[in-house]
Amino acid sequence: MEAEWDPFRLSEALNHHLRPDPVAIVACAAVSEDFHARFSAVERQYIFRLMSRRAPMVHGGGGVWRVRHALDLAAMREGAAHLIGLHDFTTFRASMCQALSPVKTLDECRIEAHPLAYGTEFRFHLRARSFLHNQVRSIVGTLERVGAGAWAPDDVRVALEACDRAACGPVCPPEGLYLDHVGYPDDPFA
């Protein structure tokens, strides 16, 4: 027998069982029978947090990638500009990626710097209809190399056009990667 759940009560019940894990249901809504959380999505937004500072992270260390060197924000932004639009992202695709095509449209690749008392936090905002496996981490890892001065901003364009995984910069660690938003044509949370 299937029960009709009130969305608020369902979210409360799920949150009760999720404790003490660091995850929570913030909204719950009824959807149609043909709704699929992954395949019905028309947009995804990721944030990647990167901390530039010499000292180890004390708070939130598992939620941010720390590098010990300074990063050039302007250079990273210049490199990121080469990735906006419709491209073959084979270079930024994991070898185990199951996507049928490496051709994707990256709608946004914005980088913000947040100076703090002991370092700078960089936030990478990436938005697209869909992403390839490890695409965000590959892009951030490559842009970090640009920010560190190991790559020129135009090297990002060269790597993209190579359509060769070997041309990619290093894949950054998963610490710091957050799925920030998923958009649907008939957004049940709107």
d(CA 162, CA 165): 8
Residue 117: the pLDDT is 87
SS3 121: strand
Q: Does domain 43-182 have CATH number 3.30.70.660?
A: yes
The residue ranges of every structural domain in the chain are 1-30, 43-182
Q: What is the pLDDT of residue 1?
A: 53
127-136 pLDDT, tens digit each = 999 999 999 9
Q: Is the pTM of this model over 0.75?
A: yes
Q: Per the structure block, which two tokens stand in for 58?
A: 């004390």
Distance CA 42, CA 102 (A): 17
Percent of the chain with pLDDT over 90: 82
Per residue in 7-39, pLDDT (tens digit) is 999 999 999 999 988 889 998 998 888 999 899
Strand (E) or helix (H) holding 104: strand 103-116
Closest CA to 169 of 147, 149, 154, 151: 151
Tens digits of per-residue pLDDT, 53-90?
999 888 877 899 999 999 999 999 999 999 999 999 99
